[in-house]
Every structure is written in structure tokens, then in C-alpha cells.
A = this chain, B = another copy of it.
């Protein structure tokens, strides 16, 4: 409805999303700037492009960019200063991923799973039903998938998402799909609540979820959920491969391997968290 407002009629300040009180305007604007740069094509954005994207004046965009560049959040590249994301964000992203306690625990498990299955494996945390991947391990020799980290992905089309949803009750799943609509990605995508619940029932029975070209054509995915010490689903492990490289007989073997890996994660989350010496 408010899509094609050429000029901002009701809101000239540039604050578009919610302003739930207690928000610092300039900081919010800076985050929007970073989002802009992160979505931009590879060669970065100029000050004027930033100003246009932020719907603000050149001078403001200039000041914001300078500030962020001084702190290393942006990196000015030579010709007519275009801005890319800077190395400080690499550092913060690395630290942020490491602060997710899962990552440390999962790395060796992912490595093992990746070599034993010869597939690309990933681990996602459960963000209210949506899977957010925080780490991946590429299988050596395979083509690299485009698997960005840190973004909530569609739950009903990914094996990790369906693994997470399989820990929900039917009521919870119903509520989930009312807020996250089931968009179609391929002809095989599950788009009705009924079909999804049926799929989840099968998933619960065999302990792993399958995404058979439901997200991307030609791509096959198997995932399994793991649980924290309170028994609630903390996330999921998944393995991804090209469909035609997989013999159908393999699927259940891989599924068991993925489920076993998820079981290892659960065990680590339950049992002794400190790897060092803490005999309390």
C-alpha cells in the first residue's frame, strides 16, 4: 500500500520501520547504511548512492560513512571513494559466531559429518522456529553452495527448519505459519499446513527431516534437531548435496548419520559444558 510513495509524505525523517521508543536515531540510520552496503553489488557504494538509499542529504551520509570508516566498519576503496564493508565487521562477526556457544561444540562434529558423508554440513540455531545458520563446513571437492550465515531462513522449505518445526506441537506449527507464510520456492515446495503437518509426522518418526528440492531445484538436504539441557529444541544440523549425486539408498544412511550428529550435539549441550577442568 505504501509502496510507491515517491516522496515521503507522512515521514520525512527517514525513520521508516518501527520506532518503539528509546531508539537512537543516528545509530539506527547507521545500521540501515550497513544493510545497504551489505546488499549492494560487489564494488561498493558511493556517498551519493548512500544518501539516496537512506533518503537523506549527502552531508549526513558523508558523516555517517566517515564515522563508520574510521572505526573500520566500512572500507573506502579508491576510485571516487566507494564504500565496502570493513574488516572490523569480519572480526565482530567471527566473535559473534564464537559467542554462540553452539559453534565451538559443533565444529568437530560438523567436520566429522562432512567427511563421513562427503557433503556440505551446517548448523543452525532455532530462532523462534526459523533456522539461522551460524557455521558451515564445506565438503572438500564439492561445489560451493551459496549459504550465507546469520540470516533467518524459510522454515518450511529447509531440512533444518522442518527438523526444528517437528519439535513443535501441531498448534504451534499452525501459529507459526500464520505469521510466516509458506511461500513457494519450487514446484515441490510444501505450501499447505496440512501437507506440512503430514511431513512433520514422518519427520518425527524417522528422526530426521528431508528437503527434496523444496527450496532449490536439484538440491537435496537432510537435517536433524538437537536439544538443550531444558529439553527444548536449540537448533538443527543439516547436510546438503546435489540430488543426482545421491543414490536413493544412501538417503537413510545419511539421515541416520545426521541424526547421530545431532544427538552428539544434544549430549554436549546436556552434559559437561566445560571442556576443561571444572570438577564442581
**Cβ contact within 8 Å between B23 and A70:** yes
CA distance A125 to B75 in the complex (A): 13
Taking CB atoms, residues of chain B closer than 8 Å to A86 are: 96
A140: Cβ under 8 A from any B Cβ:
yes
Would A111 and B140 be within 8 Å (CB), given that A66-B23, A101-B42 are in contact? Answer: yes
**Cβ contact within 8 Å between A89 and B92:** yes
A148 is contacted by which of B95, B134, B151 (Cβ under 8 Å)?
Answer: B95
Taking CB atoms, residues of chain B closer than 8 Å to A38 are: 91-92, 95-96
CA distance A85 to B107 in the complex (A): 19
Nearest CB in chain B: distance from A222 CB, A: 21
Would A91 and B148 be within 8 Å (CB), given that A27-B27, A66-B22, A71-B31 are in contact? Answer: yes
Give this chain's copy count: 2
**Cβ contact within 8 Å between B30 and A63:** no
CA distance A246 to B66 in the complex (A): 47
- Top 9 nearest A-B pairs (CB, nearest first) are A93-B93, A91-B150, A90-B150, A85-B96, A89-B96, A94-B149, A31-B71, A26-B26, A27-B30
Taking CB atoms, residues of chain B closer than 8 Å to A27 are: 26-27, 30, 64, 67-68
Would A91 and B93 be within 8 Å (CB), given that A26-B24, A140-B115 are in contact? Answer: yes
Name the prevailing secondary structure of the A interface residues. helix
**Cβ contact within 8 Å between B101 and A70:** no
Taking CB atoms, residues of chain B closer than 8 Å to A111 are: 138, 140-141
Closest to A74 in B: B96
Question: Which of A44, A68, A91, A144 has the most chain B CB atoms inside 10 A of its CB?
Answer: A91
Closest to A64 in B: B24
**Cβ contact within 8 Å between A99 and B42:** yes
Would A150 and B87 be within 8 Å (CB), given that A24-B64, A67-B27, A111-B138 are in contact? Answer: yes
Nearest CB in chain B: distance from A236 CB, A: 15
**Cβ contact within 8 Å between B134 and A87:** yes
Q: Using A34-B92, A89-B89 as known contacts, list a sample of 4 further A-B pairs with CB atoms less than 8 Å apart, ordered by residue number in A.
A: A24-B30, A28-B70, A38-B92, A87-B132
**Cβ contact within 8 Å between A67 and B150:** no
